[in-house]
Structure 1
Amino acid sequence: MTKLSAENQLGSSSDQQTNSVAEKRAKYHLQRTALISTLGGLLFGVDTGVINGAIGYMATPSELNLTPGDEGLVTSGITLGAAVGAVFAGKVSDLIGRRRLLKYLAIVFFICTLACSIAPNAIFMIIFRTLLGLAVGGASVIVPTYLSEISTPSIRGRLVTQNELMIVTGQLLAFVVNAILGNVFGYVSHIWRYMIGFGMIPAILLFIGMFFVPESPRWLVMKGKVQEAFKSLSTLRAQPESCKTEISQIQNALDQEKEIKQATLKDLTTPWVRRLVFIGIGLGVMQQFIGINIMMYYGTTILTQSGFAHNAALIANIFNGIVSVAATIIGMSLMNKVNRRKMLTSGIIGTTTSLVLIVIVSETMSKSPILPILVVACTMMFLGFFQGFISPLVWLLLSEIFPQNLRGLGMGVSTFFLWFSNFLVGYFFPILLSGLGMSYTFMVFVFFNILSFFFAYKFTPETRGKSLEQIQMEFQYGDKSGVNPESK
């Protein structure tokens, strides 16, 4: 008995070691796959952030000689393309697969970035920045989808929000590259071409990396490729039994989805559906009109107008990027601890206060040597509240408020309006800045922030701790607790 017991213990210990090794291997492959796929988010950040430092160089008469209107189109053309890319990316990925589409998007990123870096005139630049937006919009939809389909339920939230972190990291990386090139080679008028060209590096890494990640198991099951789905999933999970169980769950979920009639535009005649879609549109428009991208796209311009030398503004802008990354990390940790509405309205109060302070210091201390430092502090405050309280929360709410049969319509329409609002803000900001000056331009966005606060307070539903079905019931049958639980 003693010998048998010892053998059993030895066997048990061996099994535990084997399981431990398998779990470490699966965890490593999952983390590596997530890192590679979120290079799409990094590209999103780099390509939207790089223009911050490059626009000042390319606008000069000796380069592209941009008017304020041209500056707006060069900056925001990428978001107009993203609006279109976001709408069609889901359907294209359902046809050809998440992995293959990300590979194709990497090629679009590379070609369009190369074209922008050698642009001979404003028209050429605007066209290829808009085409680059197709890849940005596609990545903004497909990367979170892919991450949600390869992750386990226990880590899905953290893994999907990792993409948001990679976006702001990409913007920070672009700010750092801009500062280095601008300060070391700022005397070279065409240095902006190298700033933009930097985006080709992560595009190459994404393309190569997609050869080393599996296809989405859910997509493979959807296409009837069950054996391939098992092979794909087995690289990301420790136990074969769990792979079989998960594939069975995917099959059951897909069968249920086939039985659900998806909502169309005709369903907007139903009051509760129309109300829910309009709330989704409002959230998307609100997020952009608060003014985040006047900081991310024109931060260097704002700091230059405040009194910084251009090279110093490039360096100061790095601090904006650092705050964005830190605030995103903090916001991710708060999401499941604080009510959505309270977090959102608190964030808007913070962004409004930041913009008001910029107006006050610009008007009262216009000749003070500390004005640039105060403006930097205010922009950092703005970014802290926005990236920590508003940005990740809006995306989370959009993923929560739509029931399954309404998700395709609701997310598609809401995302389109979000990107189109992004385009409007990016296009009109330099025109307003040229015509009204900095103080009055920021007053316009103070007004938008006040409107956003009232919208968030009155219409944003509280979704924390509620199922999608419960949210649907509250909207469908008029339970006000689904809209404003604190108004009771």
Structure 2
Amino acid sequence: MVKLTIVEDRPTPKEVYNWRVYFLASMACWASVMIGYDSAFIGSAMALKSFKDEFGLSTKTKAEFNFLSANIVSCYQAGCFFGALSGYFVGFYFGRKWGLFVASLVFIVGSILQTVASGKTGLGIMYAGRIIAGWSVGVASNLTPIYIAEISPPAIRGRLIGIYELGWQIGAVVGFWIGYGVNQHIPYGNVQWIIPFAVQLIPGGMLGLGCLTLKESPRWLASRDRYDSALANLALIRHLPADHVYVQEELYEIKSAIEHDEEKAGRGILAPIKTLFSNRSYMKRLALCVSLFIGQNVTGINAINYYSPTVFASIGVSGTSTSLLTTGVFGLIKFAVALIWLLWLVDRYGRKLLLIIGSAGGAVCMYWIGIYIAVAKPANNPSSNLSGGGISAMVVFYLWTCFYGPTWNGTPWVMGAEVMPTFIRSATQAIIASSNWLFAFLIARFTPQMFTAMGFGVYLFFASLMVVSIPCVYFAVPETSGIPLEHMDELFALSPRTAHTILAERLRAEHHMDGSFADTDAKNPDDGHLEPARSNDGRMV
């Protein structure tokens, strides 16, 4: 059962919920602004006549145009897939902070290549730039949620990882609107389509600058036996003295979890991978997280993100300017509901209930749109104005956005970042993030062909898959909100339907949730540092 209030695993000083932890999460989330913009602008940019004419797309047949546009879009996801896998090795050797810095530099290189491409050079440089930018986006999509999860207090972990999703939507809003802006205000010519590609440099550069302000993850530092640095960073992030009982207890739990994992698997870059594939519980969690990204992609979101002008044309929207305008409105609505999810929903109503509501509401909306297109056949009856049925379909489409935005949009990223032990989290996040980009690649590569071959059936297809996801989530996904990262093993040892209730009650009992710290001022007389309070069975309280 999902708790309707924020749950603390132990009494938490108010200083822990400080501006610095929000600031660090926000700086890391320039990565998601970068990702969101890159995912959104390409459809609008390719819809510009200046872009089509520059690369000779205007003279292509529909099948040829579908093939080339799918290549431009999908080679980016291919780069993301390999980048997400590489992110494990980047994060292992360089850490979260410098791994993100490397990603920002590579992204800038890819963005420059896309910007300097032209009809004279052909699409080869464009493809190369898209693949390189995609690689860095894959690395960033791996490391950013991990970094935020590892610096977050449990009670606001969903909210802080939600900033990642909010940054994605900020980037997407700009990406969706920039095509409309340049189409309206920039004269036809090379500059018109170059501007959307050049804007990629802004979030990429801001991520690089933001990385210089980050504090390395205490959990990563502890995994490298750099406990003094881990303690210093943890105290700074928690805005408490290094000898405070809360900081000492948290570092003790981090150290204990790492030692426990390393006892089972050993050390080294391959040890986490071996542990993952030899442990049935971890593999079940990995399969669950990958399944959530399948669920996210079968909502149809990436078909809409990358080919929004095509989607709106199928409803009956005609004209480049009008299509880009409706795409921009879609981006604004996505941003607004993502903000509601971040500020109010994710840590109040948890993860599971939101996913079920998103699937149910989204399926109804997709069925409505599919039935309208099947009956009215707007593509066969073009008009400069939408009919009453077309307007209803447009409203329902935006309603679908309201269901998707605060549910499936960010929740899989939150759960993917929080359900694995520290020792294997980076390796599993690489697989989880790469699976997202693999499914996005498949959707992006074949969406134009799907619309050509299936017509209104595309919407019925996505709606039916959303219906299938409802019982899958209900029976297989445990609620994770408010549960400390170090207690995920206990959560997944219980039945998914009741695990959250049982474990949350157990943790409150263990930590004597009476609103105050016990023995807050008690120190070990030998070394002047706080010792974690313990119950009779040796567990911290």
TM-score (norm 1): 0.82
Q: CA, structure 1 residues 396+78, in 2 after alignment: closer, same or farther (shift >3 Å)?
A: same
Question: How many Å apart are 1:42 and its aligned residue?
Answer: 0.7
**Structure 1 stretch 235-244 or stretch 416-425: which is displaced more?**
235-244
State which drifts further: 274-283 or 349-358: 274-283
- Segments of 5+ residues of structure 1 without an aligned counterpart are 1-21
Query: What letter corresponds to residue 326 of structure 2 in structure 1?
Result: A
CA distance in 2, matches of 1:296, 1:233: 38
Shift of 1:70: 1.9
Question: In structure 2, what is the Cα distance between the partners aligned to 1:213 and 1:398?
Answer: 22
Give the Cα–Cα distance (whole angstroms) in 2 for the partners of residues 276 and 206 of structure 1.
Answer: 30
Q: Report the CA distance shift for 1:74/1:374 in structure 2 as closer, same or farther (over 3 A).
A: farther
Q: Whole-Å Cα distance in 2 between the matches of residues 459 and 103 of structure 1? A: 37
**Deviation for aligned residue 1:113:** 1.0
Q: Secondary structure at the match of 1:85?
A: helix
Contact 2:420/2:488 (<8 A) preserved: yes
Partners of 2:151 and 2:467 in 1: CA distance: 40
Provide closer, same or farther for how the CA distance between residues 379 and 75 of structure 1 changes in structure 2, counting only shifts above 3 A: farther
1:303, 1:217 → 2: CA distance? 47
Alignment map for 1:146-161 (pairs within 5 Å): 146-161=147-162
Match of 2:330 in 1: 320
1:64-83 equivalence runs, <5 A: 64-65=56-57, 67-83=65-81
Give 1:407 deviation, angstroms. Answer: 5.0
2:311 aligned with 1:302, yes or no? yes
Distance 2:397 2:473 in 1: 22
Letter in 1 for 2:40: G
Distance 1:151 1:446, change over 3 A: closer
Could you say which residue in structure 2 is the equivalent of 1:346? 357
In structure 2, how many angstroms separate the alpha carbons of the residues matched to 1:225 and 1:401? 24
Q: Could you tell me how far apart the structure 2 residues matched to 1:337 and 1:29 are?
A: 22
CA contact (8 A) 1:290 1:452 kept: no
Distance (whole Å) between structure 2 residues aligned to residue 463 and residue 160 of structure 1: 13
Distance 1:150 1:168, change over 3 A: same
Aligned to 2:262: 258
SS of residue matched to 1:308? coil
Contact 1:474 1:481 in 2 (8 A): yes
- Which residue pairs with 2:493 in the alignment? 473
Give the CA deviation at 1:241.
3.1
Distance verdict in 2 for CA 1:218–1:266, change over 3 Å: closer
Q: Distance in 2 between matches of 1:325 and 1:152?
A: 25
Q: Cα deviations across residues 364-396 of structure 1 (Å, max 9, x unaligned)?
A: 342463255444323322221112122223233
What per-residue deviation string (whole Å, max 9, x for no partner) do you get for residues 417-444 of structure 1? 222111100110012223444x233333
Native 8 Å contact 1:70 1:122 kept in 2: no
> SS of the counterpart of 2:408?
helix
Taking a change above 3 Å as real, the CA distance of residues 108 and 373 of structure 1, as seen in their structure-2 partners, is farther
Q: Are the equivalent residues in 1 in contact too, given 2:80–2:437 (CA < 8 A)? A: yes
Deviations 1:1-47 (A, max 9, x none): xxxxxxxxxxxxxxxxxxxxx969x9444433332221111111111
Supply the distance in 2 between the matched residues of 1:231 and 1:276 (Cα, whole angstroms). Answer: 32
Does 1:35 find its partner at 2:35? no
Residue 45 of structure 1 is matched in structure 2 by 36
Letter aligned with residue 311 of structure 2: I
Paired with 1:481 and 1:154, the residues of 2 have a C-alpha distance of: 19
Structure 2 letter corresponding to 1:433 = F
- In the aligned structure 2, how far is the partner of 1:149 from the partner of 1:411? 13
- The answer as to 2:396 corresponding to 1:378 is yes
CA change 1:238–1:456 in 2 (3 A) is: closer
Cα distance, 1:171 vs structure 2: 0.3
Q: Distance in 1 between matches of 2:362 and 2:126?
A: 32
Which region of structure 1 is more displaced relative to structure 2, 403-412 or 326-335? 403-412
Amino acid at match of 2:44: G
Is the 1:47–1:199 contact (alpha carbons within 8 Å) kept by the matching residues of 2?
A: yes
1-structure distance, mates of 2:278, 2:239: 48
Count of aligned residue pairs for this structure pair: 459
What is the aligned partner in structure 2 of residue 5 from structure 1? Answer: none
Residues 173-203 of structure 1, C-alpha deviation per residue, up to 9 Å, x if partnerless?
2123222112112633662221111110121
Change (3 A) 1:45 1:64: farther
Larger mean CA deviation between 146-155 and 279-288 belongs to 146-155
